[in-house]
Amino acid sequence: MGDFTVSDSLLRAFKDKKIDFVELQISDANTFYNSISEAKKVNIFGPFVERHTKSDYDKMKLFTTLDNSAGIAITFEGNIVSVFSKGLHKGVLKSLMPIALSQGGIKLDNYNSERLSAMYADFGFIPISKTAFDKNFAPQDWDYEKFGCPDIVFWIHNGDSAESVIYKFGEYKVDMKSVKECPTYEEAERFRDDILKLLKER
């Protein structure tokens, strides 16, 4: 666990947009793993959140709220994963996501619920590819009656700074109809990453 200092420019953006920033801290793998495990049990959308192993988390940048009730992780490759919340801080994603972007987050994937995908679009993410739900790889706690079999969508960030994302929050528009459909998770992920690589090279 450790202190985390948010840049003055980010704090100014939060203040200008009247967003109550929820203070965050740097977390360790053990604490993060235990916190996300607890959150998955109490949040109705817990099955949508992938919990990685402690050894995986050891290789990521980890951030949680001071009470460990919400958090976010960023891999070495810039993949934003394990976004969780117990629901104790309303709108906590508005604090978590800009920090993840400022810490190198550039891509993510999610089960395509209308609410969840709309939230990621609000932060400037662009849907690139998708693949159909595969029951063979479904989470053990997945509730088919509640959640059905949504596609998995792969996104890249539009490149705006974390500060710009705060100022433009909710103004971004996305076209889900143009998303490339791929036969497997691996192919959808690879297609997204190839697009991201091309954009970086440019």
Backbone angles phi and psi of 49, in degrees to 5: -100, 125
Taking residues 155-175, what's their average pLDDT? Answer: 95
pLDDT of 4 reads 85
Token digits of residue 165: 């994302």
183-191 long-range contacts, CB within 8 A, separation 24+: 183/131, 184/131, 184/134, 185/131, 185/134, 185/137, 185/152, 187/129, 187/131, 188/109, 188/129, 188/130, 188/131, 188/152, 188/154, 189/109, 189/129, 189/154, 191/128, 191/129, 191/154
pLDDT, tens digit, 9 for 90 and up, residues 23-51: 999 999 999 999 999 999 999 999 999 99
pLDDT (0 to 100) of residue 201: 86
- What's the pLDDT at 200? 86
Instruction: Say what the pLDDT of residue 1 is.
Output: 67
pLDDT at 86 (0 to 100): 96
Task: Give the per-residue pLDDT at 57.
Answer: 98
Summarised one tens digit per residue, pLDDT across range 83-118 is 999 999 999 999 999 999 999 999 999 999 988 999
Q: With pLDDT > 90 as the criterion, what percentage of the chain qualifies?
A: 90
d(CA 70, CA 91) in angstroms, rounded, equals 11
| Share of residues in the chain with pLDDT > 70 (%) | 99
Q: What is the pLDDT of residue 123?
A: 97
Segment 128-144 mean pLDDT: 94
Residue 2, pLDDT score: 67
- Say if residue 167's pLDDT is above 70: yes
| Residue 79: pLDDT band with limits 50, 70, 90 | very high
